[in-house]
Amino acid sequence: MNERSGWLSSAPADIAHRIASSLTSDERAEFLYHWEFFARDAQLPPPGDWRVWLVMAGRGFGKTRAGAEWVRAVADRSPDARIALVSASLSEARAVMVEGESGILACSPPDRMPVYEASLKRVSFPNGARAFLYSAAEPETLRGPQHSHSWCDEIGKWPLSQTRATRAWDNLLMGLRLGNDPKIAVTTTPRAVPLVQRLLGNENALNTVVSRGSTYDNAANLPQRFLEAIENEFAGSQLARQEIAGELVTDIDGALWDRSLLERTRDTAAQPEYRRVVVAVDPPTSSAGDECGIVVAALGADGKGRVLADCSVSKAKPDEWAAAAANAARNWGADRVIAEANQGGAMVETVLRAAEAVLPVKLVHASRGKVARAEPVAALYAAGRAGHCGHFPQLEDQLCGLMAGGEYLGPGRSPDRADACVWAMSELLLSPAARPSIRSI
């Protein structure tokens, strides 16, 4: 803990007044820019050996001020500093990180005011230190440039399509090779997206330190009416836990599935007789990292669809995932294997039949995206017509990352397990019922 942290703001009024009165006008003007006397502990860089400092807190906590003051401190002591300022877009980097009310320019004393050069997307400090603006929406712009430090703002809202957020982060890391002690400050409101979860996964490692806080920690600097308004409007909600309390909520607002829904539809008692059992397969496009989603589901005599097993495999070659699907069909007595054929077409069926010659394969073709296909299946869960017979953490994490608006915010690059589950439930509950068959089609 920094012993000077917040000292002046917590000192008795008479002591603060005597100190202020003893200073000259120039000294008082300079004193206002000594951030360590006004900041709270969580707004100051932690002691010790770290590479990533993640400030994850509610709105209005003072995250932007913490990031801007850290950049200014780095520039003041290191004329050779080359700092990357990364935001969700260039316009946000400029409006918030540089020119905002708590941005770099607002935090800098007049005699050491840096110059923002819009045409070069650069902030130049009087002593020679420089900061450069980047957009996480354009991760390739971070491929090549070298930096000694970086401030990344609101990584929870960096664009997720085509894994741009993680690509931007990875490119930034690979270019962080100037100086003797490269460091990154990250400021964000909690959001359960892959990049935030990845950083939190390193919290116990020496290279990542997390500072947490809520909106109310900064109540002294926020309008009382604002605090009352958010309390009246959002108290007790999931949004309040995330946006105000600064808590990482694993149930994402707007997701098609949530944890409570899955718990409500989970079966623990003895199951009724099954009318049909199917294995759904979402083949990977390559063996370089994508999973092959393989989910076993059944239609009970009570008309409810149930997931029985998640047999998905990772980094598997075609013969390996085909063998896994065939084993699942054999072990569970499946009457049909449903396989998406958009990637590979007839090859998918050929590979599956090579694993099991008499495998009853039905190829399905996706005319809509994964999330669009998932919406009617999510409605079946909500109506109590579908659920899980057991616990399937990886599958359930993916289901809870499918957003109603078409975005995927769950773990991994693609919801392959979830897509297999959707195909299985669609076959059992949304397609014309077919008689069980153990024949090749």
Residue matched to tokens 């490119």: 171
pLDDT band at 197 (very low <50, low <70, confident <90, very high): confident
pLDDT 10s digits, 86-124: 999 999 999 999 999 999 999 999 989 999 999 999 999
pLDDT 10s digits, 256-281: 998 888 888 988 666 778 999 999 99
- By the 8 A CB rule, do 293 and 414 touch? no
pLDDT 10s digits, 157-169: 898 777 889 999 9
> Which of 11-20, 130-139, 291-300, 315-324 shows the lowest mean pLDDT across its residues?
11-20
Q: Is the pLDDT of residue 2 over 60?
A: no
Measure the CA–CA gap between 351 and 338, rounded to whole angstroms: 13
Q: Is the pLDDT of residue 434 over 60?
A: no
> Which of 10-19, 139-148, 326-335, 354-363 shows the lowest mean pLDDT across its residues?
10-19
pLDDT 10s digits, 353-386: 776 656 788 888 877 777 788 999 999 999 999 9
> Which of 261-265, 335-339, 347-351, 387-391 shows the lowest mean pLDDT across its residues?
347-351
Q: Catalogue all structural domains in the chain, each as residue range(s) with its CATH number.
A: 39-243 (3.40.50.300), 259-430 (3.30.420.240)
Look over the chain and give the mean of its residue pLDDT values, rounded to a whole number.
86
| Structure-token pair, residue 179 | 């100086």
pLDDT, average across residues 30-36: 79
Measure the CA–CA gap between 316 and 323, rounded to whole angstroms: 10
Q: Which residues contact 329 (CB under 8 A, 6 or more apart)?
A: 279, 337, 356, 359, 360
Of all residues in the chain, the percent with pLDDT exceeding 70 is 85
Position 343, amino acid = Q
> Which of 75-79, 129-133, 176-180, 319-323 shows the lowest mean pLDDT across its residues?
319-323
Q: Is the pLDDT of residue 233 over 80?
A: no
At 169 the pLDDT is 96
pLDDT, average across residues 120-130: 97
pLDDT band at 204 (very low <50, low <70, confident <90, very high): low
Q: Which of these, 1, 71, 6, 76, lies nearest to 37 by C-alpha position?
A: 6
pLDDT, average across residues 20-41: 76
Measure the CA–CA gap between 227 and 213, rounded to whole angstroms: 15
Q: Is the pLDDT of residue 439 over 50?
A: no
pLDDT band at 319 (very low <50, low <70, confident <90, very high): confident
Q: Which of these, 76, 9, 6, lies nearest to 44 by C-alpha position?
A: 6
Of all residues in the chain, the percent with pLDDT exceeding 90 is 51
Q: Which residues contact 359 (CB under 8 A, 6 or more apart)?
A: 326, 329, 337, 352, 353, 440
pLDDT, average across residues 240-250: 81
At 357 the pLDDT is 59
pLDDT, average across residues 302-317: 92
At 203 the pLDDT is 61
Residue matched to tokens 């029985």: 308
Burial of 229 (0-12, 13-18, 19+ CB in 10 A): exposed
Q: Is the pLDDT of residue 436 over 50?
A: no
Measure the CA–CA gap between 312 and 420, rounded to whole angstroms: 9
pLDDT band at 435 (very low <50, low <70, confident <90, very high): very low
Q: What is the SS3 assignment for 163-222?
A: HHHHHHHHHHHHHECCCCCCEEEEEECCCCCHHHHHHHCCCCCCCEEEEEECHHHHHHHC
Higher-confidence residue of 153 and 48: namely 153
Q: Measured between alpha carbons, how far is residue 273 from residues 56, 225, 302 in Å?
A: 49, 59, 8
